[in-house]
Amino acid sequence: MEQILNDLVLSTAWYYAMARGLIVIIILMSIAAYSVLLERKASAWIQGRIGPNRTSHPVVAWIPFVGNFLMKGGFIQPAADGLKFLFKEEPMPGHVRKFFYVLAPCVAIAPALISLVMLPFGQLPGGQIITLCPGADVGVLFMFAISSLGVYGIALAGWSANSKYPFLGAVRGSAQLISYELALGVSVLTVFLATASPDQDNALSLVSMVNAQTGAWNILYHPVAAIIFLICIFAEANRHPFDMPESETDLVGGFHTEYGAFKFGLFFVAEYSHMVIGSSLFILMFLGGWHILPWVPTVGTGIVATLLGLGSFFFKLFLFLFFFVWVRWTVPRFRYDQVMRIGWRVLLPVAVANLIAYFIFYAIKG
């Protein structure tokens, strides 16, 4: 058992690597699907409604008690929604630039899936890291590089749709993503300043970042950086209050107005994957990754500690996704000029000032 687990996590054989990739993609996809459910349920609760509670399947309904619970909780709803996207007719509007129109959803979802390879989820009893790409030491750099490619999906979609609302959405979206990337990058520098020493080999790895948080979590030492990073991942994931590319009240559907069926589904999944990846990054960098509490990195030994660590990571992820939803149904959307003003005139200067303050602090501390 332990041998298989070790092989699954560490082996470089192609079939193990494939299995690993498949498992992680399935997990990410189901988390993305169920965060849609979370979104629908939480929005319903906030608005005094009940939310999806009708979808069921005869086989599920046949299970006593649990079947009813699954129906009331709406747990079958993501499957129904996914199947709907899959089996709908694929419309191809006559006025679009066909090649780019088809390419855009793929370009949107690919970075989300690619940046998964660097995410560490937990630790095996032997200390090996559970991740798709063990031993890679450029974690954060790679994540930022790849996830910033996500803007191409939006830009391409808006441009190839050849119609004004998607175009406006794409222009807004690309401006926003590029602006907030700066503050995002600068804000995490302070964390690296604190955790990485010059003689360290894997200074940019997310794993060493998590390992540095066995005591206090980074959010306690870097609150300003954490807040800036938080705001920026909201913007990077195109979530309210920064959902400029979509802004369905003024742009119909934003950059994906002309899309339907499965191609729209891909954009949808990409958005939620960005949410999952942004939350994971925040958890790994500021909330101690798979450590259970500040100053309590692990509980138990051996496989129990591993499972508890994984559980802790995914529990934090769940809370964070809930926070995303909670904020969405609380804060109204900023105007486009406000978004730009916050990005350039507030977040970036504050991030730079924060970085300089930490420079000075560490220079004096020595």
Partner 1 sequence: MAIKVIKRRPLSFLEKTYIPQIIAGLHVTWQNMVRPPVTLQYPDERPTIPAGYRGVPTLVYDPNGREKCVSCQLCEFVCPPKAIRITPGEILETADNTHVEKAPKEFEINMLRCIYCGLCQEVCPEEAIWLQGQYSMTGTSRESMVNNKKRLYELGGTLPDSHYKWDKKKAEAEKQAEGHH
Applying CB under 8 A, the site for partner 1 has a residue count of 14
318 is a contact residue toward partner 1 (CB under 8 A): no
Q: Is 327 in the site for partner 1 (CB under 8 A)?
A: yes
Query: Which runs of E-coded beta strand occur in 88-240?
Result: 120-123, 129-131
Collect contacts of 301-304 with beta carbons under 8 A, ≥24 apart: 301/125, 302/125, 303/2, 303/125
Kindly report the length of the chain.
366
- Window 62-81: residues binding partner 1 (CB under 8 A): none
Report the site for partner 1 in 222-251 (rule: CB under 8 A). 227
Q: Which stretch binds partner 1 (CB under 8 A): 48-56, 77-85, 98-106, 305-313?
A: 48-56
H or E element in which residue 118 lies: none
Which CB atom, from 25 or from 327, has the smaller least distance to partner 1?
A: 327
**DSSP secondary-structure letter at 104?**
H
31, 36, 42, 277: residue in contact with partner 1 (rule CB under 8 A): 42
**Smallest distance from partner 1 to CB 328, Å:** 10
CA distance 146 to 112: 8
> Measured from the CB atom, is 129 or 228 closer to partner 1?
228
Instruction: For residues 149 and 110, give the distance between their C-alpha atoms in angstroms, rounded to a whole number.
Output: 9
Cβ burial of 90 (10 Å; 0-12, 13-18, 19+) is exposed
Spatial contact of 80 and 74, defined as CB atoms under 8 Å apart:
no
330 binds partner 1 (CB under 8 A): yes
- C-beta separation of 37 from 78 below 8 A: yes
Positions in 142-161 near partner 1 (CB under 8 A)? none
Near partner 1 by CB under 8 A, which window of 45-53, 84-92, 121-129, 352-360? 45-53
Let me know: does 102 contact 156? Beta carbons within 8 Å.
Answer: no
Provide the minimum distance between the beta carbon of 250 and partner 1 in the complex, in angstroms, as a whole number.
21
Work out which of 16, 45, 85, 144 binds partner 1, going by CB under 8 A.
45
Contact between 5 and partner 1 by CB under 8 A: the answer reads: no
Shortest distance, position 220 Cβ to partner 1, whole Å: 18
Residue 246 CA: distances (Å) to CA of 8, 184, 209, 257, 276: 40, 21, 34, 9, 19
Figure out which of the listed residues 22, 216, 307, 331 binds partner 1, where binding follows CB under 8 A: 331
CB of 45 to partner 1, least distance (A): 4
Is residue 175 a contact point for partner 1 (CB under 8 A)?
Answer: no
Under rule CB under 8 A, residue 50 binds partner 1: yes
Minimum separation from the CB atom of position 323 to partner 1 (A): 9
Q: Is 46 one of the binding residues for partner 1 (CB under 8 A)?
A: yes
3-state DSSP percent of the chain in helix, strand and coil, to 5: 70, 0, 30
Tokens representing residue 161 in the block: 């749709």
Residue 175 Cβ vs partner 1, minimum distance, rounded to whole Å: 21
Report which DSSP code applies to 296. Answer: B
Pairing of the two strands 120-123 and 129-131 = antiparallel
CA 1 to chain centre: 31
Closer of 74 and 111 to partner 1 (Cβ) = 74
State in angstroms the smallest separation of the CB of 326 from partner 1.
6
According to the binding rule CB under 8 A, does residue 221 interact with partner 1?
Answer: no
Q: Given the complex with partner 1, which of 114 and 227 has the nearer CB atom? A: 227
Question: Does residue number 44 form part of the binding site for partner 1 (CB under 8 A)?
Answer: yes
Contacts to partner 1 by CB under 8 A: 42, 44-50, 227, 326-327, 329-331
